[in-house]
Amino acid sequence: MSVFKVGKATVTRIEETYLPVYPATQIFPELDAARLAEHAHWLAPHHYDAQSRHIKLSVHSWLLQLDGRKILIDGCCGNQKSRPQRPHWNMLNEPWLERLAAAGARPDEIDLVMCTHLHHDHVGWNTQLKDGKWVPTFPNARYVFSKLDFDYFSKLDADPATAPTEFGSFRECVVPVVEAGRADLVTGPHRLDEFIDIQPAGGHSPGHFVFNLDVGGARACLIGDVFHHLLQVYYPDWNFPKNSDVVQARASRRRVLDDCAASGALVFPGHVGFPFAGRIEKVGAGFKPRF
């Protein structure tokens, strides 16, 4: 279990899966032999599997504990969700809830669930199947969703040509929370409280958020999928294939990298491998991860 301190706050990684999932050159076509050799000293074994030539991606949540509150950021894929289009995450049976409890939070103790965006691998544990119905996993929590994302996926889910959107996760993991009256649909910028500031970083999805944390001058940024892999810190124009707006995704990535380098914030991505969190250094016109 990886635990980080941000001032008096504790941020704990709750793992769901950590696997080599996609051929590296399929995700990043620009990753030629020369670039692979240049970065070989840090890529394997935590970010690249040399035998399969697949990039490694972690799927995890972050548990933020601060002033007695327990806040969950992003809900992974979830168990018993049918995702045949994503075989690595299809019908999972992972001890994620047990890992959450080991980190200090049972479902009924979670005060707030915050989703950086509404893709299937960030909302899965929002709900569980009970008596044939998807219901909120965290019965006492408020859920914070991007209104822009919610409206975007609602439209896709209403169109027979694109429904069910996000492999059905929108219907299973987002709509039931809204219908139960547990969701707050917000737009950014949005000041959540004295510690957490929500900023828009669209492009990977239209309403993608980053969550900035400032605890007595100790700073962190929970960035979701602004970048999926540390290669994108070296090459900010490299997009992950799935984006709602490729130009906006690049612009958001550069802006967030700039902001994190300037503030010295500890950066918590949604899919980067071990050691899972770190800082960004500005190097000339580019960036370098200090993870």
Domains of the chain: 3-290 (3.60.15.10)
pLDDT at 259: 98
pLDDT at 18: 98
- Number of residues in the chain: 291
Q: Give the mean model confidence (pLDDT) for residues 85-98.
A: 94
Collapsing DSSP states into helix, strand and coil, what is residue 228?
A: coil
Question: Across the chain, what does the average pLDDT equal?
Answer: 97
pTM of the model: 0.96
pLDDT at 261: 98
* pLDDT surpasses 90 at 188: no
Token pair listed for 25: 């050159």
pLDDT at 150: 98
Helix (H) or strand (E) holding 161: none
* pLDDT surpasses 90 at 236: yes
pLDDT at 246: 97
Percent with pLDDT over 90 in the chain: 98
What are the beta bridge partners of residue 286?
A: 283
Q: Position of tokens 């941020």?
A: 11
**Please, are residues 59 and 52 in contact by the beta-carbon 8 Å criterion?**
no
Taking the C-alpha atoms of residue 291 and residue 287, their distance in angstroms, rounded to an integer, is 12
pLDDT at 206: 98
Collapsing DSSP states into helix, strand and coil, what is residue 107?
A: helix
Q: At residue 70, what are phi and psi to the nearest 5 degrees? A: -120, 115
| 125 band by pLDDT with thresholds 50, 70 and 90 | very high
Taking the C-alpha atoms of residue 106 and residue 85, their distance in angstroms, rounded to an integer, is 31
Q: How far from 284 is each of 40, 232, 234, CA to CA, in Å?
A: 22, 16, 12
Token pair listed for 126: 């929002």
Q: Give the mean model confidence (pLDDT) for residues 98-109.
A: 98
Taking the C-alpha atoms of residue 144 and residue 110, their distance in angstroms, rounded to an integer, is 13
* pLDDT surpasses 90 at 25: yes
* pLDDT surpasses 90 at 278: yes
Q: Give the mean model confidence (pLDDT) for residues 15-31.
A: 96
Taking the C-alpha atoms of residue 164 and residue 33, their distance in angstroms, rounded to an integer, is 39
Which among 213, 178, 190 is positioned nearest to 71, based on CA atoms?
213
